[in-house]
Amino acid sequence: MPTLCKPSIRVPEYVVTMEDTLEFAEKVHAGKPQLPLALRLIQNTGVRKRHIVQPIEEALLHPGFEERNRLYESESKKRCPEVIEEALANAAVTVRDIDAIIYVSCTGFMMPSLTAWLINSMGFRYDTRQIPIAQLGCAAGGAAINRAQEFCTAHPESNVLIVSCELCSLCYQPGDDNVGALLSDGLFGDAVGAAVVRGNGGVGVALERNSSYLIPGTEDWISYAVRETGFHFQLDRRVPGTMEPLAPVLRELATSHGWDVRNLGFYIIHAGGPRILDDLAKFLDVDREMFRFSWATLTEYGNIASAVVLDALRRLFEEDRVTPGDTGVIAGFGPGITAEMAVGRWTVDTPAEMERAQLDELTSSLQ
């Protein structure tokens, strides 16, 4: 069964604190009637700091879409290899063992995808499949995990590398002063993440089932307006309320797999914002503490888009409290409004151990 191994995450060197964000917002948007509300919303995000690829003063200058995209390409090529090398080591595989690369990013554009450059520059095999995902936003981390599971299921013994490169600061638009834009400028941060899904063996989450769901009629609630100055993030005020219709979908995924979503061992949830996490905990009837990995990502890095689920999963590994057979859920949310979800069980290396855990669970349920 495909196993999601320990991710690697890196954040850039430039730090923006909550205090910095408030100070720059007051300077750039002084006198705007919507500023007081935006400042209160930013303070309520719980984001203590974020990391970005250039000083905030430079990010706010906005040199134009062409220059920003050039920076996206150069920063991606500079930052991805180190993260990939660590993810490969975490999974105990090499570049020659990788059969497909899934690259997810919504903050810049390249054609060919960065996957081609990675294959040429890092020594991956030339028959490595390339699967770029560019338009699922924050849901793409969950989608990448699900597509990797499906690839490994269709091609037994294969290994898939997931790479997430989100340089959200390159989408800051200092000229946009609506509340949604101001809030997003105080919420999103930059990060690069990678993880390997092994088709056989490995330590991590053995992926057992996945699901996708789109809330009807919400495709314009999270979107980009593509203009001369680049990507303009648009956020509808109704987005924070989407966990009420999505919670039953997550519950049904677990139930259809024979599990109670209220009683799992771990929860890896996209940290879109504090209300997303609070509402999902409430509607699933799960202790807020069970979302601690997502809360930590939000507090320390902000919303890092598709990389959130990888960072939250990294924190699960590093806490080192999970035990073989523990069950869990992974969920990413993004434009559409789309949810990409998976359920899995912690495994410590071999399929045989996982099968024993499943057998024990089945036996206990029959007693």
What whole-number distance in Å separates Cα of residue 308 and Cα of residue 326?
21
Report the distance separating Cα 253 and Cα 343, nearest Å: 8
Q: What is the Cα–Cα distance from 327 to 267, expressed in whole angstroms?
A: 9
pLDDT over 60 (residue 361): no
- The residue among 191 and 271 whose pLDDT is bigger is 191
The tens digit of pLDDT for each residue in 305-329 reads 999 999 999 999 999 999 999 999 9
What kind and span of H or E run contains 245?
Answer: helix 243-256
What is the C-alpha to C-alpha distance for residues 191 and 331, in angstroms, rounded to an integer? 19
pTM metric for this prediction: 0.92
What are the tens digits of pLDDT across the range 274-300? 999 999 999 999 999 999 999 999 999
Q: Specify the pairing of strand 100-104 against strand 49-52.
A: unpaired
Q: What is the DSSP letter of 180?
A: H
> What pLDDT is stored for residue 314 in this prediction?
98
Is 138 considered catalytic here?
Answer: yes
Query: Comparing C-alpha atoms, which of 46, 57, 85, 104 is closest to residue 301?
Result: 46
Q: Could you tell me the two tokens for 346?
A: 């912690």
Tell me the per-residue pLDDT of 43-82, one tens digit each, with 9 for 90 and over. 888 899 999 999 988 988 889 999 999 999 999 999 999 9
What percentage of the chain carries pLDDT values higher than 70? Answer: 95
Beta bridge partners of 130: 101
Contact between 270 and 309 (Cβ < 8 Å): yes
Looking at the chain, the whole-number percentage of residues with pLDDT higher than 90 is 75
Q: Which of 3-17, 78-92, 108-122, 214-228 has the weakest average pLDDT?
A: 214-228
Q: What pLDDT is recorded for position 290? A: 97
In the set 138, 152, 165, 171, the catalytic residue is 138
One DSSP character per residue, 24-35 reads HHHHHTTT-TTH
Q: How confident is residue 34, by pLDDT bands cut at 50, 70 and 90?
A: confident
Amino acid of residue 258:
G
